[in-house]
Amino acid sequence: MQSVFIKVPKVAMGTEEGEVIAWHAAEGAKLTRGDDLVEIEFDKATQVLPSPVSGTLEEICVAPGTVVQVGDRLCRVACES
């Protein structure tokens, strides 16, 4: 299995940061691509970001309440082959 880092995406022009509100999966959870992963509050809206890959959530890199920048690592997932 290959591990990949899931990063904060750019969701809108001019939006460079957001606050992690809640995780919808815990470390060790099995993820399917498209599953709700993390909720982030950006300037104008709160969005639930889906998992872009299937696999096992190995590590959550940021706790709820943390302000993150576009491109920051959110978590690490061991991808299924």
Domain spans of the chain, in order of start: 2-79
Read off the pTM: 0.91
Angle 31-47-56 from CA coordinates, rounded to 5°: 15
pLDDT at 67 over 80: yes
Q: How confident is the model at residue 80 (pLDDT cuts 50, 70, 90)?
A: confident
- The pLDDT of residue 81 is 60
> What is the CATH topology of the domain spanning 2-79?
OB fold (Dihydrolipoamide Acetyltransferase, E2P) (2.40.50)
Model confidence pLDDT, tens digit, residues 11-32: 888 889 999 999 999 999 999 9
Give the mean pLDDT of 59-69: 97
Give me Rg for the CA atoms of the chain.
12
Q: How far apart are CA 29 and CA 16, in angstroms?
A: 29
Give the mean pLDDT of 54-70: 97
Model confidence pLDDT, tens digit, residues 26-58: 999 999 999 999 999 998 789 999 999 999 999
